[in-house]
């Protein structure tokens, strides 16, 4: 009995000590957690974003925003499922004006990678605290950014810190595939006379650091052609699989481009397919590769690297390869000279290059990309709340002509 009493006393003291050291919860904690939970609970794998978009429209209009649904044309992508509901970007700005002319755009994406993972919280019966871990698909990428951005704008408006006419929200679809949501938004802006933003704040998981940029990207489908024959007489045929394998190894071993800031260009051989039977020399083999480009310029870096890939494959076999490369671009640089932020560069792609214009580009978000697409995707509540405060700083920095944001 005395041992149990001592243990209870120790646990009580430990809990009191932890609570005493826990920073005071922000006034918006419950609302932030509720918004984040609602977003994560709604499955929104790319091409199936309709429900989460509808939720956001209702949420924002209930808080005095004007919201517009910007519908996309039906996707002709080969992996788009048939019968999906209409897809749309959510555009919103503080009311009551119906004709916004904002100087700053705050944006992120509402689609996720598959598969859907249900929402959960560590110790759900306990009181929320900074160490509470929130898990589920999109809890980091990028619904943490969406929830923190919305909360930051609402808080700044309520405090009278920003002019309602200065800001606009855009939550787009399709970032995890082709970026068709942001591309559509960008194309629509180009048709409006006098439209354009002074600055755009993009939300992606950067571990709470301000990204100075990210690597570029290219994707290639590489088909090797050979000659079929009996596997017992390999000299009478030509193995497309063997040629393809030699080509892939050569690509992986070749320096395709590097820089001091972004490191080395890397290639992932994601898919290899070939042959019809184990005792038949394969006539055709196909590989699909993705490259993370470490060189510029943004417009041509991807093309430069894919040309190097072509040269490598010609060196392996001048006649065997058919190469189809798409979506190439070089390193993407972002503004990162903002007081109070650690900086970083990241290796993944974003919607930053999909929005055309001469605006300043900022890339920031709570949570880590290292768990974003995995089974253990999760974020601590303190990091989500830090995201709100950091978005406030970035919004004030951009709205106030890059003057110091001051104390929050």
Comparing CA positions, the residue from 266, 174, 268 lying closest to residue 215 is 266
Q: Fill in the DSSP letter of residue 395.
A: H
DSSP at 112:
B
Residue with the two structure tokens 């005792």? 279
CA distance 283 to 342: 53
Contact 133, 122 (CB under 8 A): yes
Q: Residue 242 CA to chain centroid, in angstroms?
A: 36
SS3 386: helix
Per the CB < 8 A criterion, the answer to whether 38 and 70 are in contact is: no
- What are 376's two structure tokens? 């253990």
β-strands 216-225, 343-346: how paired?
unpaired
175 is a catalytic site residue: yes
Within 13 Å of residue 229, how many CA atoms lie on the same side as its CB?
12
Nearest to 356 by CA among 216, 219, 188, 206: 188
Q: Tell me which residue of 217, 218, 185 sits closest to 200, measured CA to CA.
A: 185
107/200 Cα distance (integer angstroms): 7
Q: Write out the DSSP string of 261-302.
A: TTEE-EEEEEEEEE-S-TTEE-SEEEEEEEEEE----TTTHH
| 156 φ, ψ (degrees, to nearest 5) | -65, -40
Lookup: tokens for 137: 């698909």
Which residue among the candidates 22, 82, 155, 175 is catalytic per the annotation? Answer: 175
- Are the beta carbons of 315 and 263 closer than 8 angstroms? no
Residues classed as catalytic: 175
């Amino acid at each position: 009995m005395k041992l149990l009493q001592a243990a209870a006393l120790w646990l009580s003291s430990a809990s009191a000590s932890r609570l005493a050291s826990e920073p005071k919860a922000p006034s918006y904690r419950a609302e932030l957690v509720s918004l984040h939970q609602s977003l994560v609970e709604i499955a929104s794998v790319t091409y199936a974003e309709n429900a989460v978009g509808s939720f956001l429209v209702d949420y924002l209009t209930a808080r005095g925003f004007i919201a517009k649904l910007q519908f996309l044309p039906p996707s002709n992508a080969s992996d788009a499922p048939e019968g999906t509901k209409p897809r749309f970007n959510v555009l919103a700005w503080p009311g009551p004006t119906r004709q916004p002319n904002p100087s700053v755009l705050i944006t992120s994406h509402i689609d996720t990678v598959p598969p859907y993972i249900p929402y959960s919280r560590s110790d759900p019966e306990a009181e929320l605290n900074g160490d509470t871990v929130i898990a589920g698909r999109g809890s980091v990428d990028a619904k943490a950014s969406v929830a923190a951005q919305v909360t930051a704008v609402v808080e700044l408006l309520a405090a009278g810190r920003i002019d309602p006419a200065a800001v606009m929200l855009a939550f787009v679809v399709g970032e995890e595939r082709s970026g068709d949501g942001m591309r559509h938004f960008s194309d629509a802006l180009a048709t409006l006379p006098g439209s354009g933003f002074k600055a755009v704040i993009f939300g992606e998981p950067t571990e709470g650091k301000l990204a100075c940029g990210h690597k570029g990207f290219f994707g290639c489908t590489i088909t090797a052609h050979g000659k079929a024959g009996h596997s017992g007489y390999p000299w009478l045929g030509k193995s497309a699989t063997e040629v393809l394998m030699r080509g892939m190894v050569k690509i992986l071993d070749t320096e395709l481009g590097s820089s001091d800031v972004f490191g080395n260009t890397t290639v992932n051989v994601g898919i290899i397919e070939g042959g019809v039977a184990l005792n038949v020399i394969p006539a055709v083999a196909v590989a699909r590769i993705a490259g993370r480009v470490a060189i510029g310029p943004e417009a041509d870096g991807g093309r430069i690297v894919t040309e190097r890939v072509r040269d490598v494959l010609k060196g392996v076999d001048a006649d065997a390869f058919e190469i189809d490369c798409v979506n190439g671009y070089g390193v993407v640089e972002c503004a990162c000279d903002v007081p109070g932020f650690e900086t970083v560069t990241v290796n993944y792609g974003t919607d930053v290059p999909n929005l055309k214009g001469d605006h300043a580009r900022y890339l920031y978000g709570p949570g880590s990309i290292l768990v974003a697409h995995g089974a253990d995707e999760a974020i601590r509540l303190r990091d989500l709340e830090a995201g709100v405060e950091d978005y406030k700083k970035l919004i004030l920095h951009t709205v106030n002509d890059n003057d110091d944001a001051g104390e929050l």
